[in-house]
Amino acid sequence: MPIYFWFQWQEMEAIAVKTGLSSEEAKKAVKSTLKKAIKLYYNSGLTPEEVMDLIPVKPIGENEEEIKNTLNTKLLGLFGKIKP
How does pLDDT run across 10-58, given as a tens digit for each residue? 999 999 999 999 999 999 999 999 999 999 999 999 999 999 999 999 9
Among candidate residues 27, 6, 7, the one with its CA nearest the CA of residue 16: 27
Alpha carbon distance 29, 84 (integer Å): 42
Count structural domains, the chain.
1
* pLDDT bracket for residue 71 (50, 70, 90): very high
* pLDDT bracket for residue 1 (50, 70, 90): confident
Range of 75's domain? 3-82
Q: Looking at residue 59, what is its pLDDT? A: 93
Across 55-83, average pLDDT: 92
Q: Looking at residue 83, what is its pLDDT? A: 81
